[in-house]
Structure 1
């Protein structure tokens, strides 16, 4: 495995971890909104859900754009 392959694999794992964390935040936020999961206020659920959406959609796009190979 070359160093470029190792970098690509590591970056893919970081992007996947960001998406997974976003999905977990969204699920917890929905749980709080739906039935008061963890006895937190509903506003906290909306905030967690919004953060999860941003982390699930926006963060991977920004990381991919930042790590994009420059065109020659």
Structure 2
């Protein structure tokens, strides 16, 4: 892997984590402000998706990239 590929992957993972954080914060805002009618359902769903986007998805991508680099 070249240095450019490593930089692209790093920035992609960083963007992914920040977008997950933004999704989770949107869920918190929906719950706090009651922006939509089923606030709890939508808010908690967005929080769960955001947390998965921050924690799980980057780990899966790193694992897939390591396997692709090996073979």
TM-score (structure 2 length as normaliser): 0.84
Equivalence for 1:21: 19
Runs (4 or more) in structure 1 with deviation over 6 Å come to none
Aligned equivalents of 1:61, 1:14: Cα separation in 2: 13
Would you say how many aligned residue pairs link Structure 1 and Structure 2? 67
Please give the residue correspondences for 1:1-72 in structure 2 after superposition, counting only pairs within 5 Å.
Answer: 4-36=2-34, 39-40=35-36, 41-42=38-39, 43-68=41-66, 69-70=69-70
Which consecutive residues of structure 1, in runs of 5 or more, have no partner in the other structure? none
Which consecutive residues of structure 2, in runs of 5 or more, have no partner in the other structure? none
TM-score (structure 1 length as normaliser): 0.83
